[in-house]
Amino acid sequence: MFFAGGLAQNPAAMVLGAGMYNQMPMNNGGQPPVQSDEALASIPGAEMVKRLLDQYGIDSSMLITIGMLLTIFNSFTGLYSFFLSLVYQAMNFFAAYFLSKASIRSNDECFDYIMEYLSRNEISTDSRLFHVSTQQDIIPRKHKAMFYDGATFSAINRPDSEFVQTDEYGPKLKFIPASAKKHYFFFEKTLFIIERTIEHTATHSNNGGGARPDDETVEIWTVGRNPLALRRFLAHCRVLFMKQQQYKTILHTCDSYDMRWSASQTRPIRSLDSVVMTFKDKDRLLTDIAEYLSPKTKSWYAEQGLPYRRGYLFYGLPGTGKTSLTTAIAGAFNLKLFILSLGSQNLHDNYVQELFLSLPPRAIVLLEDVDSANVDRDYGYGVPQDDDIDSEDDEEVDKALNRGSSRRPSNVSLSGLLNAIDGVGSAEGRVLIMTTNRRESLDSALIRPGRVDMEIEFGRANNEVLEQIFIQLYSGKKQQMSSLALEQEEKKSEKDVLAEAAHKHEVEELAKKFASMVPEGMFTPAEVQNFLLPRKRDPNLALKELPDWLKIQTDNLKKAEEKDKRKRAKFLQRRHKWFKQRKQMKFLNQDDDSDAESADSRKKKRHSKEFLEDIAEENGEDKKDEKSEEPAKEGEETKEEKDVVPEIKTENVDGDDSKSKKSEEGDWSDVETSRPASRPTEPST
Ligand SMILES: Nc1ncnc2c1ncn2[C@@H]1O[C@H](COP(=O)(O)OP(=O)(O)OP(=O)(O)O)[C@@H](O)[C@H]1O
C-alpha cells in the first residue's frame, strides 16, 4: 500500500520504474533498449533530457535507476510517517486514559516550586541539548525560563553549588537544558515526565516596555489514572521551596513588560537589629505590626466589618533606613514584599489598581516615592503656586523649590492611587508602607487615618543611633546563623564566652566615644556607615581617622550650604520676576468679579497681588514705577526672563490651560531641592 502510495506521489518515478521493469531483460549486448526508450518517450520532456544527456555522453538509462531509487525512498518515508502518526495516536490515547497531567504557567508561584525541585535534584542538567549563558541574576521574568533550568534562586546562592555565579575571572558559564524536550525522573518510585514549552510572544506591550517576555508552561505527567502521586509531588516541591525561602526575603517588583508582579530577587533576611533607629520608634512600630498581624485582630476586623488593612508612612531624608526597615519587617514577620515605585514612567492608574488587586494576603506593599509627581497635591511642577507666595518663610520656599525638582512626574494620579489603596477587591491582610523624602508635599487625602495609621520619621543620626551603628558594625553579630554556626555557638568554651564579653564591652566603650565625637543630627545613618565600612576591621582606626573625616565633611557642608543659599536667592529673584511678568501680561487687570471666574482663581489672584505688593515694598519699588514700567516687547526679553516665562499666552492663572502649564513646568525644572540630601563624598582613603 505504501509502496503504491509512494508511487502515486511521484508519477514520474512510477513511469520510470515501469520503464526499468520493461527494460531489464533487454538490456544486453549494448543494444539500445527499445521498450525503455518507448517508455521514456511517453514522459513529457524526457526526450529532451535524453538528448541532452546523450550530448554529454551520459547513459540515459541512468534516469531509470534514479527513478527506481526515488520510488523506494518515497515508499519508506510514507511508511515512516504512517507509523509515526500511529505512535502519536497511541500515545495520545494512553495520555488521555492512563496518565495524570498538571500544567503550570511561569507566572504562577507554583512554577518556582517545580523549578526549585528540578535544580536541587539536578534533573536533566546533564542534558545533551543545552544552552550556554553567562547571565547572572534571575531578575526579569522573561529570563526565568532560562535560568531556572540550572540555576534557581537557591542554587545560585549556594556557595558550594556548581551554579555559583562568578569566579575570579567574572561570570561563570551556565549550562541550561533545552526546552521542548521531555525529561524523565522518578519520585517516590513513580515515573514522572516533565516538558517545558516556551511560548515565544512576538507581540509588543502597549506600555512602552518593548517586546513581551516569553512565557513558559511546564507540564508534568505521571503514569496512572490516580492523580494522587502528582499531587504528592507538587506538595513536596512546595514544602521544599518554602523551606528554602525560610531565610530569604523574596522581593516582587512590577515587571515593566507586562506590568505584573514578578519575583525579581531574593535576599537573606535582614534582621531588625541591623536597622538602627531610636528604640521608641522601633518598638512602637513593631508592636503595632505584630498586633495587626495576630489572628485575633483579623477576626476583630471581620466582626467590626472593617477592611483588614494597615498603612504606614516612613518619611525623611534619603539614606536613613526607610527601605531597610521595610525589608527587615518583611523578613521578621515572614511577609512577601512587593515594591512599587510610583516614579516609574510605565505605570498608569489602571496598572496600579490591577497590581493592588493581585496582591496575595499577608504581604507588604512598599510604595516608594509617593511624593513623586502627580501623586502630590501640586497642580503644576516647578512653578511656585500662588498659595506659596504670601510667605517668605523657609518652609514655604523649600516647598516651592522642591516642586521645581528635576524629577519627572509619574503617570499615576492621586485619585488613581487612592482607588487602588482602597480598592474593594484589594487583598485583606496587607501592610502598606509608603516612603517619601518630602512628607510636606503629600496630599492630606493620601495620608489620612485609615490609609496611613502610623507615621515614622527617619532623620539624621542622633547620639543613640550613632552608638548603635558603631556597635552593630564592630560587635560581629551575624545576620542569620546557619545551623552549623549555631552548633558551634553552643559548643563555645567558657574562655571564649569571657573573651566575647570583654570584646563587647570594649566595643560599647568605643561606641560611646564615637557618638560623643560626631555632632548629633549632622549625618544620615548611611553617611556614618559609609565612613565606618572601609575601617570595619579596626574600630580604633575609625576613631583615629574620625576628626579628619569630620573636618572634610564640615567643609563640604559649608560649601553645600553656600550653594544652597545662592540657589534660594536665585529662586526668589526668579519668582519675583515671574509674578511681575504675569502682571505685565495683564492677567491681573482682568475683571475680578467676572462670573466665569472661579472663587479659587480669584483667591489666587488676590494672593498674587499681595505678593507683588510685598515684593515691591521689599525692593523699595513704588507702585508708580511699576506702572510706568513698559511691558517687555516681543524679542526684547532678556534670556533669563525668557527662561522664566517664555510662553504665557493665557490669562488663566489656574494652570487649567495645559499649554501654559507645560511651559511653566519647563521653566522651573532646573531648580533643585534647596537642602542637598547628599554631600560630596569623602575622598577615598
Ligand atoms: N537606620 C539605618 N540603619 C542601618 N542601616 C542604614 C540605616 N539607614 C541607612 N542605612 C544604610 O544605608 C543604605 C541606604 O538605606 P535605605 O535604602 O534603607 O535608605 P532610605 O531611607 O530608604 O533611602 P531612600 O529614601 O533614598 O530610599 C543601606 O545600605 C542601609 O544599610
Residue nearest to atom 29 of ligand 1 (CA): 526
Which ligand 1 atom minimizes the distance to the CA of 458?
A: 21
pLDDT tens for residues 459-493?
999 999 999 999 988 886 654 455 555 566 666 67
Answer whether 276 contacts ligand 1 (Cβ < 6 A).
Answer: yes
* 400 contacts 575 by C-beta, under 8 angstroms: yes
* 460 contacts 522 by C-beta, under 8 angstroms: yes
Answer whether 272 contacts ligand 1 (Cβ < 6 A).
Answer: no
Q: Tell me, what's the pLDDT at 26?
A: 44
Q: Tell me, what's the pLDDT at 492?
A: 65
How many A from CA of 309 to the centre of ligand 1?
A: 26
Residue count of the chain, please give it: 685
Q: Is the pLDDT assigned to residue 314 strictly greater than 90?
A: yes
Beta bridge partners of 174: 133
Answer whether 176 contacts ligand 1 (Cβ < 6 A).
Answer: no
Question: 431-436 and 310-316: which strand pairing?
Answer: parallel
Collapsed DSSP state (helix, strand, coil) of residue 240: helix
Domains within the chain, CATH numbers bracketed: 2-96 (no CATH), 106-246 (no CATH), 264-372+410-458 (3.40.50.300), 558-668 (no CATH)
Answer whether 437 contacts ligand 1 (Cβ < 6 A).
Answer: yes
Q: What is the mean pLDDT of the chain?
A: 71
Answer whether 321 contacts ligand 1 (Cβ < 6 A).
Answer: yes
Answer whether 205 contacts ligand 1 (Cβ < 6 A).
Answer: no
Answer whether 343 contacts ligand 1 (Cβ < 6 A).
Answer: no
Answer whether 154 contacts ligand 1 (Cβ < 6 A).
Answer: no
How many A from CA of 259 to the centre of ligand 1?
A: 27
Provide the H-helix boundaries in 99-188: 109-120, 144-150, 153-157
Helix or strand holding residue 191 (H, E): strand 190-199
Helix or strand holding residue 319 (H, E): none
Which ligand 1 atom minimizes the distance to the CA of 530?
A: 12
Q: Please tell me the distance from the alpha carbon of residue 601 to that of residue 578, in angstroms, as a whole number.
A: 18
Cell of residue 489, nine digits: 555557638
How many A from CA of 681 to the centre of ligand 1?
A: 16
148-162, 233-247, 302-316, 608-622: least confident range = 148-162
Q: Is the pLDDT assigned to residue 664 strictly greater than 80?
A: no
76-80, 253-257, 432-436: least confident range = 253-257
Q: Using CA atoms in the order 382, 388, 389, 391, what is the torsion angle rounded to 10 degrees?
A: -130
Pocket-testing residue among 249, 276, 323, ligand 1, by greatest number of atoms within 8 A of Cβ: 323
4-8, 426-430, 544-548, 577-581: least confident range = 4-8
Please state the φ and ψ torsions of residue 150, each to the nearest 5 degrees: -125, -5
User: Can you give the pTM of this predicted structure?
Assistant: 0.60
Residue nearest to atom 26 of ligand 1 (CA): 318
Residue nearest to atom 18 of ligand 1 (CA): 321
CB atoms within 10 A of CB 195: 16
How many A from CA of 72 to the centre of ligand 1?
A: 76
What is the mean predicted confidence (pLDDT) over 158-178?
53
Pocket-testing residue among 275, 320, 477, ligand 1, by greatest number of atoms within 8 A of Cβ: 320
How many A from CA of 323 to the centre of ligand 1?
A: 6
Q: Does the interface predicted TM-score (ipTM) exceed 0.95?
A: yes
Which ligand 1 atom minimizes the distance to the CA of 368?
A: 27
Positive or negative torsion for Cα 147, 149, 154, 160: negative
How many A from CA of 529 to the centre of ligand 1?
A: 10
Model confidence at 193, pLDDT cuts 50, 70, 90, reads confident
How many A from CA of 229 to the centre of ligand 1?
A: 47
* 88 contacts 80 by C-beta, under 8 angstroms: no
pLDDT tens for residues 605-649?
555 555 555 555 555 544 444 444 444 444 444 444 444 333 333
